[in-house]
Structure 1
Amino acid sequence: MAVTVSSDLSVTVSADQNVEKLIDKREALKESLKKGESKAVGVSQVMLGFLIISYSVPLLSADFTEVLMFGVPWWSGLIFVIAGAFTLVMEKCNTIEMVFASLVVTVLATVISVIALIIYIIDMMNNPETKCKLDSTQTCDHRHYATMFNLGIKSILVCLYTVATSISSAFSIILYKERERFNNYSVTT
């Protein structure tokens, strides 16, 4: 803050350049996050979370495999819903702290989606489709159709996890760059 005193005893206080820069940077943060991309990412994360959970319900009627034993669809779908909710809240509350919180949750969602992908792939390799055993009516037994259905659902879920991993990792990079861009301008009291 620059203060000048003239000979007639009037005091002039001009705004500090650093404070102006800080205010400008905060406004730039708000504008960069208000472009709408974070809202779209948040909605897509929430939708992917609910899709993963709902598409996993039919797996409960099949064999109890590694995916269900670890509860992968439930905790991974839930973390996507939470990450999307954080992103949507960040859209409304534009602060560096909220960007950091959203970054942490989005990185966690990325890591969990990679872990879920690995578990699904291992599960699909350990529980392949059974061979078709023809009965007297020349149709396959029910076990063949059950494992075929199970693998089909898991293949769809692997595709959803791939999309979720891509979205979360790309958004993590965007949030990290935003955080780094505004990290130099913090208020000290």
Structure 2
Amino acid sequence: MDEKTAGQLRLIREVVAVLRADDVPAWLFGGWGLDARIGRITREHGDVEFWVERIHAERSKALLVAAGATVLPTQPPEESCEFTWDGVLFSTAYFDRRPDDSFSQPLGRFADWLFPPGSFGAEPVTLDGTPVLAMSVAGLLAMKEQFPGLRNGRPWRPKDVTDVAVLRGLAGPSSTPPAS
């Protein structure tokens, strides 16, 4: 394991511990979320991304800053907050629960993103020996599949194509490609 990956794993443990101590759930997503769902590290990651329910946004930010993270003024505050902690880049993005038990990010550039019920479950998975919450396979797949079609989306990168194939395999035979 290289230094960057070791630093990101250390950061994941620290963020989870700080937020868990104050009963603020945070779910890994992106590449680290997929790795947590698979149960092993599959590749190098550029950053670490967590989802936090919007009702906990300000409290999570205050807790992380008090623990040593530095806020970077790089993201629209209604969408997310980017941080650095001991030289490791990470972010918290904010979601809202909808009346039908689905989830969305209704404020900001990605207001058209919708996540299915069950995307943010309470059962932890294990990542490098640490219990963590991770966005569900269905939620990760919905994120990836919707992204190119969002009003502020962009085409899949090669790693997105690979991730979608892995997620579809994890989701099982009921997972079908999106309609064109």
TM above 0.5: no
Q: TM-score range by the shorter chain?
A: under 0.3
If you compute each CA radius of gyration, which structure gives the higher value, 1 or 2?
1
Which has the larger share of helix? 1
User: Scaled by the length of structure 2, what TM-score is found?
Assistant: 0.28
Which has the larger share of strand? 2
Q: Which has the higher contact order (CA 8 A, sep 6+)?
A: 1
